[in-house]
Amino acid sequence: MNEPHNLQAAVRFDPQWRGRLAEGVEPAIVASKLNHYYGTGELRKQVLYDNCLEIYPGEIIIMTGPSGSGKTTLLTLIGTLRRVQDGELTVLGQELHKATSSQLMRLRREIGFIFQAHNLFDSLTALQNVRMSLELVAPHQSQQQQSEQAKEMLTAVGLGQRTGHKPKQLSGGQKQRVAIARGLVHKPRLVLADEPTAALDEQSGRAVVELFKQMAKRDLVSIVIVTHDNRILDVADRIVNLVDGRIRSDVLVQEAAIVSQMLARCEIFSHLTPRSLAEMADQLVAEQIPEGSRVIREGDPGDKFYLIRQGRVSVRKGADDRELAQLGEGDFFGETALLTGQPRNASIVTLTDSTLYSLSQEKFNFAVGQRASVVDEIRTSLFDRQ
């Protein structure tokens, strides 16, 4: 079973998040031991397995994985388009596994849906298609207010000059942008998008993801994007990878980049390529260690490698516990015992409250043993894109 991503431990270094976590911000989405099945009886097939996930306000999550891995099923469960069968799922404070039909209807007004199939009404103009969302979600607004808001959103996606055009007068990419405008016009708290940029050219796709970024930063909208579009990976705060119905990895992108750079400074990992370093960073476990704690005791067997993410530690040796050195952010320790198989040759004591990333002996040995060449990695990367 995959464990929930330790988001609070990781994002505490990001100024954007420090204040929100200090204020006790609740997750927008919490999934716990979530399973899902299709069919009944002998034809029953499990498509999601024991998945756990937390997504916070203002995060942009990109969900990747092979076709048939369960991405769209998970997205439709979060969007209340399927009923939770097994496990727990809470969206915007509403427990979906306990919700009534009327509660689900109310929740849907807080969600923006963007699907690969445009589902536009051929008899309506672009403006009318977008305005329809407001007519359902905000019926208290006047038609003029709704039209102004719809036109503003169409302009934001680059269709300000196409508001009076019907779908048959629009290209595939333009129809997709109308669908995007319709999903965003009512200012949802959560956006669920399935391949939103697949039909868009580079410029239009970039305009859409910049709009997503603006909504996430300004309005703390949570955005979950299922995509195979490598052009927009840079917009993600986290990348969640599903394989065979299981969340295989959940990577906080900016933190992974920082930690990868720290690992690259370790001589013992100098043979690793950037991709391997990123994969290794995803294996690290965050540990919060109070000041004055003895992390490693001289003479004990070695079981972990440590990287200092924040704080300072003292290296001490002998019966008198004399200090040999101090280590700080980006430094590492614990590798000697793992490499030699000998007991720890010194003790480590925290001088401040510290955040350490640790790697088990098994995963450390695997990383040290890797000898992937750049050519091999390029070949693998190109194959993965097929």
Q: In whole angstroms, give the CA distance from residue 81 to residue 115.
A: 12
How many C-beta neighbours within 10 Å does residue 341 have? 9
What is the predicted pLDDT for the residue at 372? 44
Which residue from 244, 228, 189 is spatially nearest to 63, judged by alpha carbons? 228
What is the predicted pLDDT for the residue at 378? 45
The residue whose two tokens read 């930063």 is 217
What is the predicted pLDDT for the residue at 366? 84
Residues 6+ apart with CB under 8 A from 86: 33, 34, 35, 36, 37
Instruction: Give the pairing type, strands 354-360 and 304-310.
Output: antiparallel
Q: In whole angstroms, give the CA distance from residue 357 to residue 355.
A: 7
Q: In whole angstroms, give the CA distance from residue 285 to residue 203.
A: 39
Intervals of the chain under pLDDT 70: 1-24, 251-252, 370-386
Tell me, what amino acid is at 159? L
Phi, psi (rounded to 5 degrees) for 264: -65, -25
Q: In whole angstroms, give the CA distance from residue 267 to residue 283.
A: 19
Angle of helix 374-384 relative to helix 274-281, nearest 10 degrees, comes to: 70
The residue whose two tokens read 């995803």 is 282
What is the predicted pLDDT for the residue at 18? 46
How many C-beta neighbours within 10 Å does residue 323 have? 13
SS3 302: coil
Count of residues in the chain: 386
What is the predicted pLDDT for the residue at 20? 52
Is residue 62 within 8 A of residue 236, CB to CB? The reply is yes
What is the predicted pLDDT for the residue at 24? 66
What is the predicted pLDDT for the residue at 276? 78
Phi, psi (rounded to 5 degrees) for 238: -140, 150
Burial of residue 179 (CB within 10 Å: 0-12, 13-18, 19+) is buried
Q: In whole angstroms, give the CA distance from residue 152 to residue 159.
A: 9
SS3 124: coil
Strand positions, DSSP E, 119-269: 190-194, 222-226, 238-243, 246-252
Is residue 7 within 8 A of residue 250, CB to CB? The reply is no
Is residue 62 within 8 A of residue 225, CB to CB? The reply is yes
Angle (nearest 5°) at CA 341 between 339 and 346: 85
Q: In whole angstroms, give the CA distance from residue 240 to residue 290.
A: 31
- Cα separations in angstroms, 203 against 18, 123, 209, 231, 253: 33, 28, 10, 11, 23
Phi, psi (rounded to 5 degrees) for 223: -130, 125
- Cα separations in angstroms, 327 against 290, 349, 356, 377: 16, 10, 12, 33
What is the predicted pLDDT for the residue at 11? 44
* Structural domains for the chain: 7-110+188-255 (3.40.50.300), 265-380 (2.60.120.10)
